[in-house]
Amino acid sequence: MATTNNFGIALRGWRERRSPLTGESASGADRRIPGLRREELARLAGLSVDYVVRLEQGRARNPSAQVVGALSRALRLDAAERDHLFRCAHLTPPAAGDVPRQVPPRVHRLVRQLGDAPVAVYAADWTLLSWNRMWTTVIGDPRSYGWDQGNLVAGMFRSGGGHRGDAIAAWPVRSWAGDEAEEESLVADLRVTALAHPEDARLSLLVDRLLRTSPRFARLWSNGTAGLHTGDRKTVEHPLVGNLTLDLDVLTVPGSDLRIVVYAPAPETDTAERLNTLRTTAHRYAD
């Protein structure tokens, strides 16, 4: 079965979309097709025309990272397009810089629109950045959690015991899968982030500190497991309405690598009614 020439398709599509800058090529009056000619792209990327032709036609299928990077710059691709071109060449996209820790206005707007549910925004390294009123009402004030630098993983593996430790009232959340499974999932997720952001000094310091201070973290880190933490079922122990059974969903934000964490009532439980009680309380105190 023939393999789809994804790299050539993307390369040709972006070449034909790319508008030449003044002085880069012949005037528009001399052009019969839109975008860059192959020879123009080859010159901008420092490649031979024949090689560009073979890449587009699928006769050359293993371009190096240097070649893909040069083509990305010549085509003025944005980060998402560049990463797609690398993946089409079966290459790992270039490492990003620091983990994004700024919450853009569109994400703040989305969190407000989800105001009936507990919602928080985490950075990709699980640093808590923002939360809504229902989060505080249901799960408590994050400023009372006692997490180092507001980081969930640091809180889970703080020295002196399990991630619940003495802070059961401050972080009253337990996974139905058990502490070990929850910890393993988050460590695997943190590994993905660390690989994507190898130059982030803050993240490197976090991992180094946990390796030195938490044997549990060191054991899980050494097993090499990697994967995104996308969801879980939780029990939240609430002092006013008792236990709440909530499904946790983790939504990623394209272009920023932020994680929007949403807690919603699990099906066939009485949690929805208890959540309504807490919602009424939250609105009353807000008025």
Indicate the domain borders of the chain: 6-88, 105-286
Amino acid at 205: L
CATH topology of domain 105-286: Beta-Lactamase (3.30.450)
What span, in angstroms and rounded, lies between the C-alpha atoms of 263 and 136?
A: 12
Query: What confidence score (pLDDT) does residue 146 get?
Result: 87
pLDDT digits (tens, 9 = 90+) for 133-191: 999 999 999 988 889 889 999 999 985 444 444 444 578 899 999 999 999 999 999 99
More confident residue, 162 or 123: 123
Q: Indicate the angle between helix axes 49-57 and 38-45, nearest 10 degrees.
A: 110
pLDDT digits (tens, 9 = 90+) for 241-259: 999 999 999 998 877 789 9
**Could you count the other beta carbons within 10 Å of the beta carbon of residue 24?**
12
Please compute, for residue 113, the number of CA atoms within 13 A of its CA located in the half-sphere on the CB side. 7
pTM (2 d.p.): 0.74
Q: What tokens does 6 get?
A: 């994804």
pLDDT digits (tens, 9 = 90+) for 13-28: 999 988 776 445 544 4
- Pairing between strand 258-265 and 173-175? unpaired
Q: Which CATH code for domain 6-88?
A: 1.10.260.40
CB 109, CB 122: distance < 8 Å: no
Find the range with the poorest average confidence among 75-79, 125-129, 195-199, 252-256: 252-256
The closest of 189, 172, 176 to 135, measured between CA atoms, is 172
The C-alpha angle with vertex 208 and arms to 204 and 214, in degrees rounded to 5, equals 140
Average pLDDT over residues 28-39: 71
Q: Is the alpha carbon torsion for 201, 140, 277, 273 positive or negative?
A: positive
Please compute, for residue 279, the number of CA atoms within 13 A of its CA located in the half-sphere on the CB side. 13
